Chain A
């Protein structure tokens, strides 16, 4: 079976600055893969390339066998890749439910005149979108339910905003979900909950997930595979244990062993 997502020798350079160099990465359907690496290693750049914010300067990105290079972000999302943001980018002054409903724009079709006249298709879609939004929000237990639907997103707590970002991405009906540091800024309890949640996203919703995460407990808990980046290059790939003990990964995070340096 062809992989769901395939990065083929993808490179990105801003003028002389090489942000990413010949990165190969494949994701099979139903997999959860984590990307780790020190700050500035190029993790979020990988996300921005896949979701179409940047266009790669070399190489090819294929989703379900089809190249997505040069497509606009909204087209890529409609193909089935949704993402969340490291620095939350919710529609803060819209209600919780509207945030989720906004992401269903791509798979609804009613034109403005239809909406104004409330013609059958517009009504039907509106009902469906409502039901979908409620369904997606119910995935997070009681956290985003009830009176919270009609609250503006800015009143949510930080952890709930992270959840709402995931809910919004789910509403775009993706096959592949890109999560950018979903557990950042969460307390240990919430982090544990997020770990379970990512597992449930695959098991109950059938999503394939690529996740950037700094919390090694989360990475250990969820990953089928781990990819380590440093300076825009892949330095290791494999199971969590393989990568965590890989000398280049240790070096990237902790620096080189001074004794080994002395020996050279």
Chain B
């Protein structure tokens, strides 16, 4: 056989990947053969099964919020993932959809009767208006790229927030928002239950996914990606770059506005703070975590971020996630197994020893009980150090923990690192039980941040994203 040059070897990478042996190869080939719509149908069915499991209202609401975030991530993916435009004003389109629907389905306008349109009238009207708004916002932004575009669009987002808070407060309700919005209604029916909204939203998101997939596989989708990859070259290849940027803004605005209308109808009220920058950051977190540029990634990322945040509200459940992540990371990253076993045994032993010593010196120092409830709390009772007054202790330990983590990451010698890992894990458990679990609203922000940091280092392309090569 003729020798194969390195270039050829690199170029055959894909060919070799296609010949994956074993069940993984079979699975990959099977998955590639199945078309996109059977996959979508399976996902739709799985989604439809959720209410059948008779969740309570809170769980249904979590499901609705998760689907909303997934839909918003899908819309953001158009401008950010496909066209490569860093749009920080995206949240305004969501707010526009919600306020648009609210105005057309409440007492706010045209008193005393108000306007009460059918949903099949009001939703299309709002979507068309959102498409036009997307074009208008895009117009001054179309010549801007990167940081400059981000700043200008961020300004638009803030303008929207100020507008809804301070302008025409008799119509828009100012900080008090618009109350008592009609439910989604039409053809003599109306949706009144959470379950109904869940199904409505599920159908809507499936339609959005299918539409975006078909669009992605068309000339428009290819042109968007070409604009992202190299605007100058795209311009030279018959693609009117500015026009495609405007289209990306516009399509993203329509998807966001659709989410907004459903949000407004299901909540029955809208407030300016529902459309604030922190929520925009959540949408970005979902998109980036799932994989920017991928439809499946946007959906998964939106669901994961939303559900994780809800999960972190309850200290006990947040504890499962916290300890689960530590254990999973250890199992995934520690080789060989002996080392892993050493770390686990070492951590357990270290904990009991520390607890016993500190308890012997001062009984008040171990008088508190772990904040986690249930079996986790029972298990950790004689292991972690929680003083009678855990606040200061927890704060100090938290700062020490951060310093220790940084030191650990910077450390070069692997044996020393393994040994030091044991007290650091123990310290983390102590901080969690005495301080972090006590304040879930702050802790969940910290944890989401930590998850993002770890994820972006481990898989910069996101869960389902494709690795993007910038310059070769």
Q: Is the Cβ of A154 less than 8 Å from the Cβ of B472?
A: yes
Kindly state whether residue B52 has any CB partner on chain A within 8 Å.
no
Cβ A90 vs Cβ B237 within 8 A:
no
The residues of A that contact B226 with a CB separation of less than 8 Å are 91, 94, 102, 105
Contacts A94-B226, A115-B218; is A157 near B10 (CB within 8 Å)? yes
- Among the interface residues A53, A115, A147, which one has the most CB atoms of the partner chain B within 10 A? A115
Closest to B472 in A: A154
CA distance A93 to B230 in the complex (A): 10
User: Nearest Cβ distance between residue B191 and chain A, in whole angstroms?
Assistant: 25
Q: Is A124 an interface residue (CB 8 A)?
A: no
Partner of A72 from B13, B223, B240 at Cβ < 8 Å: B240
CB interface residues, A 222-245, toward B, < 8 Å? none
- Distance, CA A78 to CA B238, complexed state (A): 6
Chain A contact residues: over half helix, strand or loop, or mixed?
A: helix
CB of B295 to closest CB in A, whole Å: 13
Write the nearest CB–CB distance from A124 to chain B, whole angstroms.
12
A34 in the interface (beta carbon within 8 A): no
Decide: A74 near B236, CB < 8 A? Known: A108-B219, A112-B251, A157-B11: yes
Which chain A residue shows the least CB distance to B241? A74
Which partner residue on chain A sits nearest B237 by CB separation? A103
CA distance A158 to B8 in the complex (A): 11
Contact of B15 among A90, A98, A126, A147 (CB under 8 A): A147
Number of B residues with CB within 8 Å of any CB on chain A = 38
Q: Tell me how far the C-beta of A128 lies from the nearest C-beta in chain B, rounded to whole angstroms.
A: 11
Docked-complex contact A105 and B238, CB < 8 angstroms: yes
Q: State in angstroms the CA–CA spacing of A101 and B234 once bound together.
A: 12
B246, chain A: closest CB distance, angstroms? 12
Given A148-B11, A152-B469, A106-B215 contact (CB < 8 Å):
no
Contact between A106 and B18, CB atoms less than 8 A apart: no
CB-based contact A115/B236 at 8 Å: no
Given contacts A94-B225, A110-B219, A116-B211, contact A72 B7 (CB under 8 A): no
B360 at the interface (CB under 8 A from A): no
A92 touches B229 (CB 8 A): yes
Majority DSSP secondary structure for residues of B touching A: helix
Do residues B222 and A102 form an inter-chain contact, with CB atoms below 8 A?
A: yes
Chain B residues with CB below 8 A from A112, complex form = 215, 218, 220, 247, 251
CB neighbours of A115 from chain B (8 A)? 214-215, 218-221
B238 touches A103 (CB 8 A): yes
**Residues from chain B with Cβ under 8 Å of A102 in the complex:** 222-223, 225-226, 234, 237, 239
| 5 tightest Cβ-Cβ pairs between the two chains A and B | A106-B238, A115-B218, A157-B7, A91-B229, A89-B233
List chain B positions with a Cβ less than 8 A from chain A: 7-8, 10-11, 13-15, 18, 211, 214-215, 218-223, 225-226, 229-230, 232-241, 247, 251, 466, 468-470, 472
Question: What are 19 A-B pairs with beta-carbon distances under 8 A?
Answer: A73-B232, A74-B239, A74-B241, A77-B236, A90-B230, A91-B229, A91-B233, A92-B472, A93-B469, A98-B225, A102-B226, A102-B234, A105-B237, A126-B219, A129-B219, A155-B14, A157-B7, A157-B10, A168-B237
Additional A-B contact list (5), CB under 8 Å, known A105-B223, A156-B11, A160-B11: A72-B235, A94-B222, A105-B226, A118-B214, A157-B7
